[in-house]
Structure formats: structure tokens, C-alpha cells
């Protein structure tokens, strides 16, 4: 057991503590991404197509056609398509409510000074949908549907085309259902670069969203500024808050279920019950062992290297430690759920009560599952319609309002030493009120 002081007056006990190997900054990933981006920027479609062939084994067309969408749909059972429709409806409905919560307004701040706010969607959104270890059809809904609801007029989506199979049929069908205008069979850096540089669409993307591997994340980071991005996503994180009333079997199943995301996906349990914490540690190996091989291998490594069980003395201390970790997903198995909703502040998405679970949010409940990781929940939320919408402002003044504002602007400008700014106020005051004298301030460091 490792005991450490979390704050000056808070003693916490790690019943299990993560002990990941120390990793240096992955300069190799960065260097690889920079080389690929430079090559694709220089050689365009030729280079992106080459990487699709070399890295994904895809030799088909990069831009998907109506026949490709139709063939993908034929490969899916009606039951699968019905489930996708259900998930799409929930996510679309939640996104519509988000959009309705954003408002344009216009206000008269003083007589003759009109100021306002407009909400303008970006012109082009790029949506990356991973297609590696798992077929992330739900991710296509989260990104493409949300951009569509935001009112983006041009949506480009991309996902890896694997050898002869191409894009996973469920992903391809979902992209079309959600309203993607152009779909590309490109994964990794080449997919991000193609959208950023506008290789297969009329315009380059203004914003690129969606999760991916470390190369995708690094490409987004490298291009940030040229484009907007959602989050710099790291491995999926999940935490559970549990008191003595929690069902240990549900807690263990949910931790194991999230650990299957990948071998470096942290799963954390914060609890006030020593018995619960020790029982979870006891049960976890058998729960993970019962998973299919792909999930079992990922969850085994994730729990071994990144799993933590933290014992604390009170629910207030659970709030404190959870807010310090700022997990991407946070579940609460405890009494008085409204108390937790009121007091918790740092999380990507919150799941209250044993009746819900992260998987519901991941797949079809409604709120977006593209969320902040690595502590970014301290200052950022997940993907929403707002990511695709610019909140811009405007101003309009009458001559009388310009008289009131111009004097103050001139004086503050001179206080700051900005004579050019001040004179833009002076000239208007002289034009509109030529017979009137104004106190226009003294340039900082100078006698007027």
C-alpha cells in the first residue's frame, strides 16, 4: 500500500496504484508526422494515396461514391441499421438542444451604441472516425451528426480503408446517414492532412474533430492554428466514485469494460469503502479473463499498469481527488446523486447512478462521447455544436454615441501611448462636432 498526502489536511490511501513505465516524449511520433505532413502538403493527392496503400493496404478509390454507400448498407442487417438510427436520433436530439441553448442577441449599451452577437457555423468541418482495433460507428455519429446540427454547409469525413475491405460498412453507412458530404478512405496522418489541406474537397477544413491514435493526435496538434481542433485526445480515461452502497459487480464490470479501450487506458476507482476497493481488486482479474482475446489483452495491460483504487475518508475528499484527476468519464455509484451533480466540477461527462454506464454515453444515450483527457476537463468540455460555430460580435454607433465613446477611447489610447488609435477618435469628434472642444488626454510620456 502506498500512502500519500493529497492536500495538506487530506490523507489518501492507494489500495492499488498505477505504475506505468516512464516514457520519454515521443519525438519519433512527432518527427514521423512532420515528414508525412510535409510530403502530403507538397505532393497532395499523390502522396496521400501512396500512404493509404502503404500503411492501410487500401488500393481503391479515396473518395467514396454512391455505390460504395449502397454496398455498405447492403452488408448490414436491418437490426444493425435500426440501432444506428436509434443512436443517431438520441445524439441529434441532444445536439439540437445544445444549438437551441446558444443565442444571438443585440443590445443598446448606451443611447445610440448597438452591440450584438452572431453565431456563424464554420464553412467546412473535417470529421475523423477511427477504424483500427474496433469499428467506431458511434464516433461517426458524434462528429458528423453534431457538425450537421450546427449548420456546417460542407462536412468531410474520413476513416481508414483496410486492404480489400475498405471502410468498415457500419462506419460508411453511418457517415452517409448523418449527412457527410464527402467521405474519404484515408486513415492516420494522411486522413487529417487531406482534410486540413482540402485535397479532395472544394475547401480545406476550418475545424477537424474526432479521436484517433497517437499519430492522429500529433497531426492535429501540429496543424492546430492552421485549423481548429476539438481536443488533443490521449488514451480513454474512466473513473468511478463509489461508497459502501455500490454494487461491487457493476463497479468491476464497468472498470473492466472501459479498460478494453487500450493497454494504456487508465481506470480509476475512488471509494470510501475499504471492503469495496479490496473486493474490486480481487474480482478484476477474473472479469478481465472472461473477455474476448482482443479486449482481454488490452484490459489486462490497462489494469496492471494504469489501474488505481484510492481509499479516502469522506465524500468531500472523493470530490477533491476526482476534481484533481479531472477524468474524461466519471461514474457515481453513491447515495444522494444530486449532491454529486452539484459539487463535482472537473469531468468530461458525468454518469449518475448504477442504472447508467459509460458505454451508454459512448454509443447511443445522446451527449457527445468525444471528450477531454489528460486533465483537460479542468478547463474544457467535450465536443458540442459550439465547436463548429463561431461566436462573433458587431457594433454600430450613432454620431451622438460616437461623441460619448470617442472621448474616452482617445484618452485611454493616449494613456497607453497609442497616438494613432487616439486620432481615430479625434477625427470623428472634429467631423461631427466641429464647434465643440473636448478633453482628449495626453500621450503617455509627453506634454499635450
What is the set of active-site residues? 328-329
In 3D space, the residue among 92, 152, 75 whose CA is nearest the CA of residue 364 turns out to be 92
> Could you tell me which residues come within 8 angstroms of residue 121 by beta carbon, excluding any fewer than 6 positions away?
150, 151, 152, 153, 388, 389, 390
- 192: number of CA atoms within 13 Å, CB side? 29
CA distance 334 to 276: 12
Q: Return the H-helix or E-strand segment holding 49.
A: helix 45-51
CA distance 207 to 354: 36
Which one-letter DSSP state was computed for residue 62? S
59: three-class secondary structure by DSSP: coil
- Bridge partner residues of 185 (DSSP): 159
CB of 295 closer than 8 Å to CB of 315: no
Phi, psi of 159 (to 5 degrees): -155, 150
SS3 readout for 272-330: CCHHHHHHHHHHHHHHHHCCCHHHHHHHHHHHHHHCEEEECCCHHHHHHHHHHHCCCEE
Amino acid at each position: 500500500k502506498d500512502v500519500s498526502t493529497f492536500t495538506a489536511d487530506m490523507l489518501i490511501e492507494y489500495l492499488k496504484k498505477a505504475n506505468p513505465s516512464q516514457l520519454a516524449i515521443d519525438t519519433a511520433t512527432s518527427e514521423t508526422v512532420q515528414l508525412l505532413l510535409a510530403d502530403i502538403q507538397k505532393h497532395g493527392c499523390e502522396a496521400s494515396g501512396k500512404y493509404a496503400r502503404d500503411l492501410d493496404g487500401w488500393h481503391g478509390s479515396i473518395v467514396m461514391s454512391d455505390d460504395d454507400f449502397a454496398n455498405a448498407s447492403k452488408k448490414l442487417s436491418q437490426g444493425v441499421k435500426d440501432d444506428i438510427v436509434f443512436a443517431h436520433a438520441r445524439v441529434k436530439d441532444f445536439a439540437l438542444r445544445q444549438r437551441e441553448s446558444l443565442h444571438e442577441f443585440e443590445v443598446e449599451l448606451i443611447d445610440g451604441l448597438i452591440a450584438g452577437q452572431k453565431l456563424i457555423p464554420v464553412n467546412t468541418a473535417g470529421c475523423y472516425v477511427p477504424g483500427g482495433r474496433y469499428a467506431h460507428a458511434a464516433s461517426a455519429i458524434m462528429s458528423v451528426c453534431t457538425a450537421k446540427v450546427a449548420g456546417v454547409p460542407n462536412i468531410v469525413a474520413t476513416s481508414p480503408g483496410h486492404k480489400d475491405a475498405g471502410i468498415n460498412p457500419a462506419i460508411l453507412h453511418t457517415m452517409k446517414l448523418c449527412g457527410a458530404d464527402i467521405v474519404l478512405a484515408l486513415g492516420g496522418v494522411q486522413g487529417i492532412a487531406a482534410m486540413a489541406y482540402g485535397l479532395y474537397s472544394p475547401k480545406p477544413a476550418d475545424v477537424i474533430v474526432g479521436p484517433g491514435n497517437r499519430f492522429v493526435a500529433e497531426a492535429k496538434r501540429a496543424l492546430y492554428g492552421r485549423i481548429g481542433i476539438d481536443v488533443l485526445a490521449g488514451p480513454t480515461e474512466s473513473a468511478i466514485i463509489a461508497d459502501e452502497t455500490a454494487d461491487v459487480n457493476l463497479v468491476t464490470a464497468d472498470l473492466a469494460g472501459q479498460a478494453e479501450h487500450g493497454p494504456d487506458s487508465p481506470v480509476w476507482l475512488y471509494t470510501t469503502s475499504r471492503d469495496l476497493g479490496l473486493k474490486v481488486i480481487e474480482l478484476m482479474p477474473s472479469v478481465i479473463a472472461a473477455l474476448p482475446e482482443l479486449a482481454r489483452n488490452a484490459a489486462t495491460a490497462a489494469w496492471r499498469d494504469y489501474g488505481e483504487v484510492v481509499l479516502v475518508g469522506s465524500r468531500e475528499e472523493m470530490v477533491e481527488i476526482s476534481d484533481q484527476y479531472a477524468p474524461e468519464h466519471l461514474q457515481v455509484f453513491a447515495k444522494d446523486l444530486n449532491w454529486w451533480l452539484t459539487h463535482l466540477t472537473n469531468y468530461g461527462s458525468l454518469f449518475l447512478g448504477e442504472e447508467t454506464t459509460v458505454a451508454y454515453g459512448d454509443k447511443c444515450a445522446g451527449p457527445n462521447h468525444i471528450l477531454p483527457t489528460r486533465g483537460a476537463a479542468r478547463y474544457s468540455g467535450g465536443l458540442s455544436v459550439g465547436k463548429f460555430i463561431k461566436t462573433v460580435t458587431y457594433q454600430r454607433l450613432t454620431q451622438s454615441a460616437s461623441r460619448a465613446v470617442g472621448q474616452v477611447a482617445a484618452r485611454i489610447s493616449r494613456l497607453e501611448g497609442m497616438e494613432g488609435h487616439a486620432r481615430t477618435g479625434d477625427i470623428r469628434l472634429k467631423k461631427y462636432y466641429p464647434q465643440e472642444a473636448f478633453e482628449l488626454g495626453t500621450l503617455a510620456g509627453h506634454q499635450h
